[in-house]
Structure 1
């Protein structure tokens, strides 16, 4: 069996382009076992994408979302 840490350390020595290529090849080698979306979810995604494209969606900035979440759960160490 190949040691995961050794493979990871070796992969980190690759150039960024080689790392991306390796990442793509690894992702493609994993069997796709994701179940297809239900029709309702697919329709909802389409509706939301259309609203963003039409500029009719009400969007909220990440800063606002993060502030709301932190008020609910308290401060988080960003380290």
Structure 2
């Protein structure tokens, strides 16, 4: 069955059925990806370093609200 035919058939599903289908597909991708796509040792080391740094001084953390306001300033 072609991709176009699959899409046509999927569009015949109800909204709740399509949402469930998307969730099922996403779960299958996540499962496959976790088996095949991993972090490099350098990435793992960096994550561990950052966690250790945060645990040593949690006061250096920036609240999400501050980060969000810097990234997405409110336009007047």
Q: Normalising by structure 1, what TM-score?
A: 0.48
More helix by share: 2
Q: Normalising by structure 2, what TM-score?
A: 0.49
